[in-house]
Amino acid sequence: MRWLVTGGAGYIGAHVVTALSESGIESVVVDDLSTGRAARVPFGVPLVRADVRDAAAVREVFRRHRPGGVIHLAARKDVAESTAHPLRYYQDNLDGLRCVLAAVAASGTRRVLFSSSAAVYGTPRRSPVREEDPAEPANAYGRTKLIGEWMLRDAAAGAGFRWGALRYFNVAGAAAPQLRDEGGTNLVPRLLRAAALGIPATVYGTDYPTPDGTAVRDYVHVADIADAHVRAALALAEGELHDEVLNVGRGEGASVLQMIAAVARATGRPLLFDAAPRRPGDPASVVASPVRIRSRLGWQARHGLQSIVTSSIAEVAKAA
Protein backbone atom coordinates (compact mmCIF):
# COMPACT_ATOMS: atom_id res chain seq x y z
CA MET A 1 0.00 0.00 0.00
CA ARG A 2 1.29 3.44 -0.98
CA TRP A 3 1.11 6.46 1.39
CA LEU A 4 0.73 10.02 0.21
CA VAL A 5 2.87 12.31 2.39
CA THR A 6 2.02 16.00 2.17
CA GLY A 7 4.86 18.25 3.32
CA GLY A 8 7.26 15.34 2.73
CA ALA A 9 10.08 17.69 1.67
CA GLY A 10 9.97 19.45 5.05
CA TYR A 11 12.04 18.78 8.15
CA ILE A 12 9.74 16.23 9.79
CA GLY A 13 8.10 15.02 6.56
CA ALA A 14 11.43 14.02 5.00
CA HIS A 15 12.34 12.04 8.13
CA VAL A 16 8.93 10.32 7.89
CA VAL A 17 9.36 9.47 4.19
CA THR A 18 12.88 8.17 4.85
CA ALA A 19 11.64 6.00 7.75
CA LEU A 20 8.77 4.66 5.60
CA SER A 21 11.25 3.76 2.82
CA GLU A 22 13.56 2.06 5.34
CA SER A 23 10.56 0.00 6.51
CA GLY A 24 9.77 -1.01 2.92
CA ILE A 25 6.65 1.18 2.77
CA GLU A 26 6.07 3.00 -0.52
CA SER A 27 5.24 6.70 -0.53
CA VAL A 28 4.66 9.67 -2.81
CA VAL A 29 5.32 13.26 -1.67
CA VAL A 30 3.23 16.35 -2.38
CA ASP A 31 4.96 19.57 -1.40
CA ASP A 32 4.95 23.13 -2.73
CA LEU A 33 8.56 23.56 -1.57
CA SER A 34 7.63 26.80 0.22
CA THR A 35 9.77 25.82 3.21
CA GLY A 36 10.72 22.30 2.05
CA ARG A 37 13.56 21.21 -0.20
CA ALA A 38 13.39 18.63 -3.00
CA ALA A 39 16.87 17.33 -2.03
CA ARG A 40 15.44 16.04 1.25
CA VAL A 41 13.13 13.56 -0.53
CA PRO A 42 14.85 10.14 -0.78
CA PHE A 43 15.87 8.88 -4.22
CA GLY A 44 13.09 6.86 -5.83
CA VAL A 45 10.23 8.55 -3.97
CA PRO A 46 8.10 10.58 -6.43
CA LEU A 47 7.77 14.28 -5.56
CA VAL A 48 4.79 16.20 -6.92
CA ARG A 49 5.31 19.94 -6.58
CA ALA A 50 1.84 21.22 -5.77
CA ASP A 51 -0.01 23.36 -3.26
CA VAL A 52 -2.37 21.26 -1.13
CA ARG A 53 -4.87 24.15 -1.21
CA ASP A 54 -5.20 23.56 -4.95
CA ALA A 55 -8.16 21.14 -4.99
CA ALA A 56 -7.75 20.16 -8.64
CA ALA A 57 -4.03 19.42 -8.21
CA VAL A 58 -4.70 17.31 -5.10
CA ARG A 59 -7.47 15.35 -6.86
CA GLU A 60 -5.09 14.69 -9.77
CA VAL A 61 -2.44 13.30 -7.39
CA PHE A 62 -5.03 10.94 -5.88
CA ARG A 63 -6.22 9.88 -9.36
CA ARG A 64 -2.69 9.17 -10.55
CA HIS A 65 -1.12 7.59 -7.44
CA ARG A 66 -4.18 6.00 -5.74
CA PRO A 67 -2.79 6.19 -2.18
CA GLY A 68 -4.17 3.78 0.40
CA GLY A 69 -3.40 6.27 3.15
CA VAL A 70 -2.42 9.90 3.67
CA ILE A 71 0.03 11.44 6.14
CA HIS A 72 -0.76 15.14 6.19
CA LEU A 73 2.12 17.29 7.42
CA ALA A 74 1.95 20.28 5.05
CA ALA A 75 1.36 23.40 7.13
CA ARG A 76 2.87 26.60 8.43
CA LYS A 77 4.27 26.27 11.96
CA ASP A 78 5.65 29.60 13.16
CA VAL A 79 3.71 30.67 16.28
CA ALA A 80 4.84 34.32 16.15
CA GLU A 81 3.93 34.57 12.46
CA SER A 82 0.52 33.02 13.21
CA THR A 83 -0.09 35.78 15.77
CA ALA A 84 0.90 38.50 13.30
CA HIS A 85 -0.99 36.94 10.36
CA PRO A 86 -3.73 34.73 11.83
CA LEU A 87 -5.92 34.61 8.72
CA ARG A 88 -2.98 33.45 6.63
CA TYR A 89 -2.60 30.54 9.07
CA TYR A 90 -6.31 29.71 9.01
CA GLN A 91 -6.21 29.76 5.22
CA ASP A 92 -2.97 27.83 4.71
CA ASN A 93 -3.38 25.19 7.39
CA LEU A 94 -7.12 24.60 7.18
CA ASP A 95 -7.78 25.06 3.44
CA GLY A 96 -4.94 22.63 2.77
CA LEU A 97 -6.39 20.03 5.13
CA ARG A 98 -9.90 20.53 3.74
CA CYS A 99 -8.72 19.92 0.15
CA VAL A 100 -6.85 16.78 1.19
CA LEU A 101 -9.84 15.45 3.16
CA ALA A 102 -12.20 16.19 0.25
CA ALA A 103 -9.92 14.15 -2.05
CA VAL A 104 -9.79 11.34 0.56
CA ALA A 105 -13.59 11.32 0.84
CA ALA A 106 -13.96 11.17 -2.97
CA SER A 107 -11.40 8.36 -3.37
CA GLY A 108 -10.78 4.88 -2.06
CA THR A 109 -8.29 6.15 0.56
CA ARG A 110 -9.28 4.78 3.93
CA ARG A 111 -6.64 6.07 6.37
CA VAL A 112 -5.42 9.52 7.38
CA LEU A 113 -2.68 10.47 9.82
CA PHE A 114 -2.61 14.16 10.79
CA SER A 115 0.26 16.26 12.18
CA SER A 116 -1.14 17.96 15.23
CA SER A 117 0.80 19.69 17.97
CA ALA A 118 1.21 20.14 21.71
CA ALA A 119 0.20 23.75 20.90
CA VAL A 120 -3.44 22.56 21.11
CA TYR A 121 -3.09 22.40 24.92
CA GLY A 122 -2.05 26.04 25.41
CA THR A 123 -1.15 26.25 29.07
CA PRO A 124 -1.84 22.72 30.35
CA ARG A 125 -3.63 22.50 33.68
CA ARG A 126 -1.37 19.62 34.69
CA SER A 127 1.97 18.17 33.74
CA PRO A 128 2.44 15.67 32.19
CA VAL A 129 -0.55 16.53 30.01
CA ARG A 130 -2.81 13.75 28.76
CA GLU A 131 -4.80 13.63 25.55
CA GLU A 132 -8.14 13.89 27.35
CA ASP A 133 -7.11 17.09 29.16
CA PRO A 134 -8.71 20.35 27.98
CA ALA A 135 -7.41 21.72 24.68
CA GLU A 136 -7.16 25.49 25.03
CA PRO A 137 -4.66 26.72 22.42
CA ALA A 138 -3.06 30.08 23.19
CA ASN A 139 -2.35 31.21 19.62
CA ALA A 140 -3.70 31.03 16.06
CA TYR A 141 -1.27 28.26 15.10
CA GLY A 142 -2.51 26.00 17.92
CA ARG A 143 -6.12 26.80 17.05
CA THR A 144 -5.57 25.75 13.41
CA LYS A 145 -4.27 22.41 14.72
CA LEU A 146 -7.22 21.89 17.07
CA ILE A 147 -9.74 22.84 14.38
CA GLY A 148 -7.82 20.49 12.06
CA GLU A 149 -8.42 17.62 14.49
CA TRP A 150 -12.16 18.47 14.57
CA MET A 151 -12.29 18.70 10.77
CA LEU A 152 -10.58 15.34 10.47
CA ARG A 153 -12.97 13.71 12.94
CA ASP A 154 -16.05 15.09 11.14
CA ALA A 155 -14.78 14.20 7.67
CA ALA A 156 -13.95 10.67 8.81
CA ALA A 157 -17.39 10.19 10.35
CA GLY A 158 -18.99 11.35 7.10
CA ALA A 159 -16.80 9.40 4.68
CA GLY A 160 -16.00 6.37 6.85
CA PHE A 161 -12.20 6.37 6.93
CA ARG A 162 -9.91 5.67 9.91
CA TRP A 163 -7.70 8.40 11.32
CA GLY A 164 -5.04 9.21 13.85
CA ALA A 165 -3.74 12.61 15.00
CA LEU A 166 -0.23 12.84 16.42
CA ARG A 167 0.34 15.75 18.78
CA TYR A 168 4.09 16.28 18.54
CA PHE A 169 5.84 18.05 21.37
CA ASN A 170 9.12 19.92 20.67
CA VAL A 171 10.77 18.22 17.74
CA ALA A 172 14.55 18.55 17.34
CA GLY A 173 17.65 16.70 16.14
CA ALA A 174 18.38 15.17 12.73
CA ALA A 175 18.97 11.70 11.35
CA ALA A 176 21.16 12.90 8.45
CA PRO A 177 22.72 16.22 7.32
CA GLN A 178 20.35 16.81 4.40
CA LEU A 179 17.31 16.32 6.65
CA ARG A 180 18.10 18.88 9.35
CA ASP A 181 15.74 21.67 10.47
CA GLU A 182 16.46 24.87 8.65
CA GLY A 183 13.40 26.69 10.03
CA GLY A 184 15.45 28.41 12.69
CA THR A 185 12.76 29.69 15.08
CA ASN A 186 12.70 26.63 17.39
CA LEU A 187 14.94 26.63 20.47
CA VAL A 188 17.63 24.13 19.39
CA PRO A 189 18.40 25.80 16.02
CA ARG A 190 18.40 29.19 17.80
CA LEU A 191 20.89 28.01 20.42
CA LEU A 192 23.10 26.39 17.81
CA ARG A 193 23.13 29.56 15.74
CA ALA A 194 24.17 31.61 18.80
CA ALA A 195 26.89 29.03 19.60
CA ALA A 196 28.19 29.09 16.01
CA LEU A 197 28.26 32.91 15.94
CA GLY A 198 29.80 33.11 19.43
CA ILE A 199 27.00 35.41 20.65
CA PRO A 200 24.77 35.04 23.72
CA ALA A 201 21.51 33.16 23.27
CA THR A 202 18.30 34.99 24.20
CA VAL A 203 16.27 33.37 26.98
CA TYR A 204 12.66 34.56 27.05
CA GLY A 205 11.45 34.49 30.64
CA THR A 206 13.62 33.65 33.66
CA ASP A 207 10.85 34.08 36.25
CA TYR A 208 8.62 31.12 35.44
CA PRO A 209 7.46 28.90 38.34
CA THR A 210 9.89 26.15 37.26
CA PRO A 211 12.99 24.84 39.10
CA ASP A 212 15.41 27.25 37.37
CA GLY A 213 12.89 29.92 36.31
CA THR A 214 13.05 29.15 32.56
CA ALA A 215 10.36 27.46 30.47
CA VAL A 216 10.22 23.66 30.42
CA ARG A 217 9.41 21.67 27.26
CA ASP A 218 9.39 18.04 26.16
CA TYR A 219 12.07 17.72 23.44
CA VAL A 220 11.74 14.67 21.22
CA HIS A 221 14.14 13.47 18.53
CA VAL A 222 12.78 13.73 14.99
CA ALA A 223 13.88 10.13 14.32
CA ASP A 224 11.57 9.03 17.15
CA ILE A 225 8.77 11.15 15.65
CA ALA A 226 9.34 9.43 12.29
CA ASP A 227 9.22 6.02 13.99
CA ALA A 228 5.87 6.97 15.56
CA HIS A 229 4.51 7.69 12.05
CA VAL A 230 5.65 4.34 10.70
CA ARG A 231 4.03 2.54 13.64
CA ALA A 232 0.83 4.60 13.33
CA ALA A 233 0.63 4.00 9.57
CA LEU A 234 1.02 0.25 10.07
CA ALA A 235 -1.54 0.26 12.90
CA LEU A 236 -4.03 2.20 10.76
CA ALA A 237 -3.47 -0.25 7.90
CA GLU A 238 -3.98 -3.24 10.20
CA GLY A 239 -7.06 -1.68 11.81
CA GLU A 240 -5.28 -1.53 15.18
CA LEU A 241 -5.47 2.26 15.49
CA HIS A 242 -8.95 3.73 15.48
CA ASP A 243 -9.72 7.41 15.40
CA GLU A 244 -7.43 8.58 18.16
CA VAL A 245 -5.32 11.51 19.24
CA LEU A 246 -1.87 10.52 20.55
CA ASN A 247 0.78 12.62 22.29
CA VAL A 248 4.29 12.13 20.88
CA GLY A 249 6.76 13.22 23.52
CA ARG A 250 9.37 11.68 25.80
CA GLY A 251 7.42 12.43 28.95
CA GLU A 252 10.41 14.31 30.40
CA GLY A 253 10.82 18.05 30.55
CA ALA A 254 13.97 20.11 30.01
CA SER A 255 14.31 23.81 30.80
CA VAL A 256 15.87 26.36 28.47
CA LEU A 257 18.90 26.53 30.78
CA GLN A 258 19.24 22.74 30.67
CA MET A 259 19.20 22.94 26.86
CA ILE A 260 21.88 25.64 26.95
CA ALA A 261 23.97 23.36 29.18
CA ALA A 262 23.41 20.45 26.76
CA VAL A 263 24.58 22.62 23.84
CA ALA A 264 27.65 23.71 25.84
CA ARG A 265 28.46 20.06 26.66
CA ALA A 266 28.09 19.04 23.03
CA THR A 267 30.22 21.90 21.61
CA GLY A 268 32.73 21.86 24.46
CA ARG A 269 32.32 25.65 24.85
CA PRO A 270 30.19 27.63 27.30
CA LEU A 271 27.13 29.30 25.78
CA LEU A 272 26.25 32.63 27.39
CA PHE A 273 22.73 33.97 27.42
CA ASP A 274 20.81 37.24 27.76
CA ALA A 275 17.60 37.25 29.78
CA ALA A 276 14.60 38.76 27.97
CA PRO A 277 10.97 39.13 29.12
CA ARG A 278 8.55 36.24 28.69
CA ARG A 279 6.89 36.05 25.27
CA PRO A 280 3.09 36.40 25.44
CA GLY A 281 1.30 33.05 25.39
CA ASP A 282 4.42 31.00 26.26
CA PRO A 283 3.41 28.52 29.01
CA ALA A 284 5.74 27.67 31.89
CA SER A 285 5.81 23.92 31.33
CA VAL A 286 4.51 21.58 28.61
CA VAL A 287 5.41 17.91 29.05
CA ALA A 288 3.64 14.95 27.41
CA SER A 289 2.16 11.94 29.01
CA PRO A 290 3.30 9.24 26.55
CA VAL A 291 1.17 6.52 28.18
CA ARG A 292 -1.44 6.27 25.41
CA ILE A 293 0.99 6.06 22.48
CA ARG A 294 2.99 3.43 24.35
CA SER A 295 -0.11 1.31 24.85
CA ARG A 296 -1.55 1.79 21.32
CA LEU A 297 1.62 1.66 19.20
CA GLY A 298 4.26 0.23 21.54
CA TRP A 299 6.16 3.48 20.84
CA GLN A 300 8.71 4.88 23.20
CA ALA A 301 11.36 7.52 22.52
CA ARG A 302 14.80 5.95 22.08
CA HIS A 303 16.82 9.18 22.00
CA GLY A 304 17.58 11.29 25.07
CA LEU A 305 18.31 14.99 25.35
CA GLN A 306 22.04 14.84 24.67
CA SER A 307 21.50 12.73 21.56
CA ILE A 308 18.95 15.28 20.32
CA VAL A 309 21.40 18.16 20.73
CA THR A 310 24.50 16.28 19.58
CA SER A 311 22.76 15.06 16.41
CA SER A 312 21.75 18.62 15.59
CA ILE A 313 25.30 19.87 16.08
CA ALA A 314 26.90 17.01 14.22
CA GLU A 315 24.53 17.49 11.33
CA VAL A 316 25.01 21.26 11.21
CA ALA A 317 28.78 20.73 11.22
CA LYS A 318 28.62 18.06 8.50
CA ALA A 319 26.29 20.17 6.35
CA ALA A 320 28.42 23.34 6.70
Amino acid identity of 113?
Answer: L
**Is residue 143 part of the contact set for ligand NAD (CB under 6 A)?**
no
**Is residue 34 part of the contact set for ligand NAD (CB under 6 A)?**
yes
Q: Which of 19, 36, 100, 112 binds ligand NAD (CB under 6 A)?
A: 36
Least separation in angstroms between CB 10 and ligand NAD: 2
Active site residue 208: no
C-alpha pair distances (Å), 290 with each of 105, 168, 299, 308? 31, 11, 9, 18
Least separation in angstroms between CB 15 and ligand NAD: 8
Segment 224 to 283, residues that bind ligand NAD, using CB under 6 A:
none
Contacts with ligand NAD by CB under 6 A: the residue count is: 28
Burial class, 302, CB count within 10 angstroms (exposed 0-12 / middle 13-18 / buried 19+): exposed
**Is residue 83 part of the contact set for ligand NAD (CB under 6 A)?**
no
Least separation in angstroms between CB 83 and ligand NAD: 15
Q: Which of 4, 5, 7, 313 binds ligand NAD (CB under 6 A)?
A: 7
Q: Which of 161, 168, 219, 299 binds ligand NAD (CB under 6 A)?
A: 168
- 114-128: burial string, b at 16+ Cβ within 10 Å, e else: bbbbbbbbbebeebb
Give the 3-state secondary structure of residue 59.
Answer: helix
Among 141, 168, 208, 219, the active-site one is: 141
Least separation in angstroms between CB 103 and ligand NAD: 13
Q: Which of 92, 224, 227, 315 binds ligand NAD (CB under 6 A)?
A: 92
**Is residue 47 part of the contact set for ligand NAD (CB under 6 A)?**
no
Q: How many residues does the chain have?
A: 320
Strands (E), 92-206: 111-117, 162-168, 170-172, 201-204
CA nearest 115: which of 161, 146, 154? 146
Q: Which of 19, 25, 47, 52 binds ligand NAD (CB under 6 A)?
A: 52
Give the 3-state secondary structure of residue 123.
Answer: coil
The set of catalytic residues is 141
* Site residues (vs ligand NAD, CB under 6 A): 7, 9-13, 31-36, 51-53, 73-75, 77, 92, 96, 115, 117, 168, 170-171, 183, 186
